Amino acid sequence: MSLKRTTVYLEDEDLRDLKTTASRKGISEAELIREGVRLAIARNRVWDEPVGLPVFDSGDPAFAERADDILRDTRFGDWSQDS
């Protein structure tokens, strides 16, 4: 992993909390900032991008309408209320 330097401006209270948290966790302040950046990126990700999951085509145009019955027959999930 190639790291690049950047500057981040923090309020005094946030900087104090950053130092305290990093010390408590036994990691560097920079690592804690990188973790926060990754979390912020994940939270703000645009989810309309394709995720690359395979597409399933059952060949049955009514499959979606019968999905509960199909899953019940496979004993997948908790269908105890219907038993």
38-66 pLDDT, tens per residue? 999 989 887 776 677 777 788 888 888 88
pLDDT of res. 77: 62
- Domain assignment present for residue 77? The answer is no
Find the mean pLDDT for residues 3-23: 97
- Domain assignment present for residue 21? The answer is yes
Rounded to whole angstroms, the Cα distance separating 65 from 56 reads: 15
Rounded to whole angstroms, the Cα distance separating 73 from 12 reads: 60
- With 0-12 / 13-18 / 19 or more C-beta atoms within 10 angstroms meaning exposed / middle / buried, residue 22 is middle
**What is the number of domains present in the chain?**
1
Rounded to whole angstroms, the Cα distance separating 69 from 64 reads: 10
**Predicted confidence band of residue 68 (pLDDT cuts 50, 70, 90):** confident
- Which residue segment(s) compose the domain that 24 sits in? 12-43
Find the mean pLDDT for residues 73-78: 69
- Domain assignment present for residue 33? The answer is yes
**Predicted confidence band of residue 79 (pLDDT cuts 50, 70, 90):** low
Rounded to whole angstroms, the Cα distance separating 73 from 79 reads: 10
